[in-house]
Structure 1
Amino acid sequence: MGILNLTPDSFYDGGRFRNSSSVMRQVDKMLEDGATFIDIGAYSSKPNAKHVSEDEEMRRILSVVNLVVNSFPEIVISIDTFRSSIAKQCIEAGAAIINDISAGLLDNNMLSTIAKFKVPYIMMHMRGTPQTMQTLTDYNDLIKDILFYFSERITKAKSYGIIDIICDPGFGFAKTKAQNFELLNHLELFKSLDLPILSGISRKSMIYNTLEFSANEALNGTTALNMVALEKGTSILRVHDVKEAMECVTLYNALHNQ
């Protein structure tokens, strides 16, 4: 899953894709490099990110979805949003998946919207909001607490008739650096959910703070941890650098298909 951030303040690529030509070049490159999905977002969810109004998020994202769908008719677009109104309009414009950082907890209409359109739903683990999540890192037992969270949210989604669910454990969301590595180290336990797992580790602070440099230098570290995620059962890698991620996937497949 290739990331297309339309926000000016995303932690790695904020502001890079602010006009149609830069968007088209990046989408074309990610598809050429082997992306299965393109995940488009217009609300930065990095820690302490500035709140963005619904109107502003809609203004940023809808025209880009229309542009990309018209230019790449066969593309599979995921929409990174926790707002049901954004999800609805983007699905109607041609998006095929909704990627919700809140698993429906920040918009009471999200699950009914997903059920209505019958699209795959990615639900992520997070506490609070992007503005408050890093103050909410106290757990009784990190893995058990996240598994319980998913159990509750999956049951809720299924009560709406939603069956096509993907779980994202939420690296970097309401978790310390040590907790992120604990989560990765026990990621295989999430196979018990019997659902596909998405891992979004790409260029995150757990990598660049450990290695003591910036997100711009975190590609090698990303690749190393992506391989760990694959070994522990990840089905989808959400990444900024599609070519390198696909090389990782190809080598993983070669290793396990001898």
Structure 2
Amino acid sequence: MEPITAHNSLTESTKFNLPTSNEDSDFTQKNNHIAYIAFGSNEGNQTRNINEALDYLETAKINVVSTSSLYISKPMYYKDQPDFFNGVVKVSFKDLSPHDLWKKGKEIEYKHINRAKKFDNGPRSIDLDILLYDDIIFNTNDLIIPHKSMLERSFVLQPLCELLSPDILHPVSAEPFHHHLAQLLAAESNETLQESSNLLQIIPVPRLELDYNRNPLKFDQLKYNQQTLIMGILNITPDSFSDGGDNFNVSAAEIEATASRLIEEGATILDIGGVSTRPGSVAPSEEEELKRVLPVVKTIRESKNEKLSTCLISIDTYRAKVAQECLEAGADIINDISMGLYDPQMFDVVAKYQCPYIMNHTRGTPEIMSTLTNYESNTNEDIIEYIVDPLNPSYKIENCDPQVTNLINGVSRELGLQILKSFTRGVRKWQIILDPGIGFAKNLSQNLSIIKYASNFKKYSIMVNERGEEDVEHFYLSFNGLASLFGPSRKKFLGTICNEPVARDRVISTGAAVMACIQQNTDIVRVHDVKEMKKVVQMGNAIYKNIY
């Protein structure tokens, strides 16, 4: 099925009057319910407060189905307080009325997270507000559903729309939520209420959760006006396609010197790999991989060079045990080229350590992936695909070859299904970084198309319908709000086009590909030649993001 888009026209106003005659006695319970709950925190360890609140929901038999991205917002109404972390969670449960659910939320706020409310709209360790409950309209003295203020708050409506397909209507206005969001985003901010309504998405790094200002993984996925980050490659392998052997069997001092150089040259993240994933490569044992990468993590974290010892460390692995031991040794990010397909325990590790997780699209194994390059349109009636632009509900991809559409949708669909699977294991959306996998089960023309249409990945959304004995469950995932990483560095397709058979010679061609990625709103580029690519990124940021 090709991508579809809602086409309803925008409403002229987001203001409306809710019904006033809905009491608990009017509510007829059914067995299974779906609700959407907004959360916010600006006191204490915000990330921990939010995660603990979600854990308490689970303890109360309120299942966390999925979450939005995590947003940083300026305080609204009372402005003299710290920034908030905001988001929305979709939950499912049985036999709880709206008031029962509301009481559970208040219990979590005040009993478990120890919220101390001093005045309305003031600082709080956690705030849980019911936005929607099934499709009902509910109005009592202490609880109104839909939430009466949601349509005036970007920090509520933007994450909510990540969890609702574009054809879902507001129960009162009868207009799509996505149209309300587009209208809100187009409106000027009321600076008397809020310094700015612009939001930043943040990917929490547990090591930095008490000082999120030190966390560079903050992005604006609407205006794209944040710095493009550089991930420097540090392969500890004898057989990687372009730098195999450079850092293999060398001393800790030499590793530290190389890592320090990459940071000085402009890398924000170091990606340490102990397994070559070039097509046709054969993997070492798990023990050998750990022997290669674990000492490097420790060397970096123990360095007396503060810039190096505090940098973000990513581990390029598809093995859960390697991921776990490296995270415990001080790594921050897991970069999984298998998107969770090679090791069934990987999602459990990512959920347990709450770390950023780069999900790289692939098919098959390195030995056979080059033969798996046929991408077809969706034929599964239980999967619906959408193209969603928060700023423009009527957005369409124009003049795109059907084969390219099949490629973009096919890669996105396979990534999306894995992301949904990860949610069932406890991974949160705000941990995910998308990598469409340049060179992984892609031929030359497909690699070019992946880069040319890179920005469209962030507009992809998918609905999966699972049919049970009594009803159908709907699982929706939007790529809106997700950061993306692209890794074209020194890849074979560059050498083929530019007649550069030696991978190390592909610096300028890599730079051209990196520039195209920046033009397509890529957030992180993974490169070998950090010094040279830093200049490319600086120019790309200046040209396309007005940052210089």
TM range (shorter): over 0.9
After TM superposition, give the deviation of residue 162 of structure 1 in Å: 2.4
Alignment of 1:177-196 (within 5 A): 177-192=444-459, 193-194=479-480, 195-196=482-483
Listed as ranges, the gaps of 5+ residues in structure 1 are none
Alignment root-mean-square deviation, CA: 1.2
Considering only CA atoms, is the larger Rg found in Structure 1 or Structure 2?
Answer: 2
Equivalent residue in structure 1 for 2:408, among 136, 143, 158: 143
Q: Is 67-76 or 93-102 further displaced after alignment? A: 67-76
Q: Does 1:27 align with 2:259?
A: yes
Corresponding position of 1:252: 540
After TM superposition, give the deviation of residue 219 of structure 1 in Å: 0.1
Q: Does 1:228 align with 2:516?
A: yes
CA distance in 1, matches of 2:427, 2:275: 27
After TM superposition, give the deviation of residue 161 of structure 1 in Å: 3.3
After TM superposition, give the deviation of residue 191 of structure 1 in Å: 1.6
After TM superposition, give the deviation of residue 169 of structure 1 in Å: 0.5
Equivalent residue in structure 1 for 2:287, among 36, 55, 59: 55
After TM superposition, give the deviation of residue 80 of structure 1 in Å: 0.2
CA distance in 2, matches of 1:128, 1:70: 37
Q: How many residues align?
A: 258
Corresponding position of 1:130: 366
Q: Does 1:46 align with 2:274?
A: no
Corresponding position of 2:301: 69
Deviation per CA, 1:56-100: give whole Å up to 9, x if none. Answer: 111111111111111132121000000000000000000000000
Alignment of 1:194-205 (within 5 A): 194=480, 195-205=482-492
Listed as ranges, the gaps of 5+ residues in structure 2 are 1-230, 377-405, 460-478
Q: Does 1:7 align with 2:242?
A: no
Moved over 2 A (4+): none
Deviation per CA, 1:196-239: give whole Å up to 9, x if none. Answer: 11000001011011111121210000001100001011100000
Aligned partner letter, 1:221: S
Q: Does 1:92 align with 2:328?
A: yes
After TM superposition, give the deviation of residue 172 of structure 1 in Å: 0.5
CA distance in 1, matches of 2:245, 2:512: 27
Contact in 2 for aligned 1:41/1:80 (Cα 8 Å): yes
| Greater fraction of residues in strand | 2
Contact in 1 for aligned 2:518/2:541 (Cα 8 Å): no
CA distance in 2, matches of 1:76, 1:110: 20
Q: Does 1:176 align with 2:443?
A: yes
Corresponding position of 1:37: 269
Q: TM-score, normalised by structure 2?
A: 0.46
Q: TM-score, normalised by structure 1?
A: 0.97
Contact in 2 for aligned 1:237/1:245 (Cα 8 Å): no
Deviation per CA, 1:137-174: give whole Å up to 9, x if none. Answer: 11112111011112212212223232311010100011
CA distance in 2, matches of 1:162, 1:45: 27
Q: Which has the higher contact order (CA 8 A, sep 6+)?
A: 1
After TM superposition, give the deviation of residue 26 of structure 1 in Å: 1.3
Equivalent residue in structure 2 for 1:208, among 495, 510, 513: 495
Equivalent residue in structure 1 for 2:422, among 157, 160, 177: 157
Contact in 1 for aligned 2:332/2:356 (Cα 8 Å): yes
CA distance in 2, matches of 1:211, 1:133: 23
Aligned partner letter, 1:149: E
CA distance in 1, matches of 2:541, 2:449: 25
Alignment of 1:99-138 (within 5 A): 99-138=335-374
Aligned partner letter, 2:529: D
Aligned partner letter, 1:162: R
CA distance in 2, matches of 1:99, 1:11: 18
CA distance in 2, matches of 1:16, 1:22: 10
| Greater fraction of residues in helix | 1
Contact in 2 for aligned 1:16/1:22 (Cα 8 Å): no
Q: What secondary structure sits across from 1:238 in the alignment?
A: strand
